[in-house]
Amino acid sequence: EVQLVESGGGLVQPGRSLRLSCAASGFTFDDFAMHWVRQAPGKGLEWVSGISWNSGTIDYADSVKGRFTISRDNAKNSLYLQMNSLRVEDTALYFCTKELGYCASTTCYGFDYWGRGTLVTVSS
């Protein structure tokens, strides 16, 4: 059974940093691209960042470029999101998601498995 379990969320002041983690199991992690998608309270989905299976291709939304860094450790079946210079508008539930099929870049089909999310609240 595929499982994606996010951790690392919490309450943080504006300007500070936070590192999210996603532990993956139930599939061959290093075969698939992975992504972070967020959802602000009561709002829609916003893609944040994606990383190819071998970390060769990395992509960011304009809203986080230069502040967030995605990475993965295939030996540990883990995905990460380092979030620096956090803003109030970064407050959201952050989902870890898996690309459906093999993809040389970051997205070729869509996201077939999602974690339950970890909540990040940026507030003074």
Partner 1 sequence: DIQMTQFPSTLSASVGDRVTITCRASQDISSWLAWYQQKAGKAPRLLMYKASNLQSGVPSRFSGSGSGTEFTLTISSLQPDDFATYYCQQYNSHVTFGQGTRLEIK
Name the β-bridge partners of 93: 39, 119
Structure token digits, residue 31:
């075969």
Size of the site for partner 1 (CB under 8 A): 23
Q: Which of the residues 65 through 124 are near partner 1 (CB under 8 A)?
A: 95, 100, 106-112, 114-117
> Which amino acid makes up residue 36?
W
Nearer to partner 1, 44 or 66 (CB): 44
Nearer to partner 1, 45 or 104 (CB): 45
Q: Does 47 bind partner 1 (CB under 8 A)?
A: yes
Q: Does 27 bind partner 1 (CB under 8 A)?
A: no
Closest CA to 59 of 81, 51, 97: 51
